[in-house]
Structure 1
């Protein structure tokens, strides 16, 4: 597979950042699927887990599936949440791995990370950290995490091959990669159509 064109990558990243700057201010009319507490319930998050979230945190949930359900996340594990957005999945994972485990949430949007940090304080989740990562190069050591999770992030990444290589680099041997994402149903676009679709 060819490495994506640098100029196109930069343009698409700018579009994604602009979109999620707006999302960090309000989820209203941003997505076609349920968000907030309704989204968590509709996607099968356990009610006892939803209940640990303050309402002012749960309302910021935005995802297309429940990646935390794909294998048990155990107390004491270290978890990386790629494309953490407002941090709801990260905070829920932090509740699952406490008291000795930890979670790192990363996102390319500074505004979403700011929102995640506010949600962390509201949820009193001391074992989760958030940071901006503006590249497919993850700033973590090899084999650092037991679980890498992502909820509707890979579809936004231009160089998916590089991103997945980085995921497997930072996973421990025998670690788990939890993916919830959107897929294309129907005829695949040409590369030109795919690029054009980002800039409509």
Structure 2
């Protein structure tokens, strides 16, 4: 698939997620992938959009005073959780290319007055941050969205950003077997984190080539079909009778113009998944590695 088209469609889908996914959906997805009720209660409203495929913070073992960088930070879900763990002397930096996500994240930062949190607009293939600034790199269901020809760049950036002895703690979707050409070419499956996912051996190679050691990749055996639970989704309410009750109605403008088109696009993507068993083709994996 054309790389520019991939980026355009990913941007479209994730802008739609900002304006469409409600708190009930986000909570259900996050709980399914290992977040505790205490964690979910501690973050700002609207930070969790239900885009996780694991809990990288469970791997990261963050400590007071550390600097953590979240690649593909979205509305700041993992960044705000990380900020609490590294404390006032630490730093939690989110990196994302989507302006709608970053706008939501910045509003959440203002509401919480999180002094140790910052967000950077950048693609994760060339991050606008200095060398060797992080003790830990986290990422949650994002690397699979990078076009195959650019994936190695992401791992090279992880290595560059980490201090010596730093670690990578990633949750990502990887494929269990070779996808058919039809599945690989399905754009809805791509922005849904399946069609662009790597196999385990490919992920290991990316990490190895970048320079990482002690690489560990483990299947978390989570049920990916939880994404298809329409009972937990609220995006279709966006332009319906419940929209007037949404605290984000004004800031998302989802019921007019471009916002409505994005909501329709997100719903179409979800409908395209109905007859596919995600677990047959892919899984949620935990990835850990060290910069020696």
TM-score in same-fold range (> 0.5): yes
Q: TM-score, normalised by structure 1?
A: 0.83
Q: How does 1:102-113 map to 2 (within 5 A)?
A: 102-113=91-102
Q: Which secondary structure state, in structure 2, belongs to the residue aligned with residue 183 of structure 1?
A: strand
CA contact (8 A) 1:79 1:145 kept: yes
In structure 2, C-alpha distance between the alignment counterparts of 1:136 and 1:149, rounded to whole Å: 15
1:187 and 2:187 are equivalent in the alignment: no
Q: TM-score, normalised by structure 2?
A: 0.59
1:60 paired residue number: 49
1:117 to 106, 117, 122: 106
Give the number of aligned pairs. 186
In structure 2, C-alpha distance between the alignment counterparts of 1:134 and 1:181, rounded to whole Å: 17
Aligned CA-pair RMSD: 2.2
How far 1:135 sits from its partner (Å)?
Answer: 5.7
Q: Which secondary structure state, in structure 2, belongs to the residue aligned with residue 129 of structure 1?
A: strand
How far 1:103 sits from its partner (Å)?
Answer: 1.0
1:96 paired residue number: 85
2:159 paired residue number: 168
Instruction: Give unmatched runs, 5+ long, in structure 1.
Output: 29-33
Instruction: Give unmatched runs, 5+ long, in structure 2.
Output: 190-292
Greater Rg by CA? 2
2:145 paired residue number: 156
CA distance 1:199–1:57, shift in 2 (3 Å): closer
Structure 1 runs (4+) greater than 4 angstroms displaced: none
1:11 paired residue number: 5
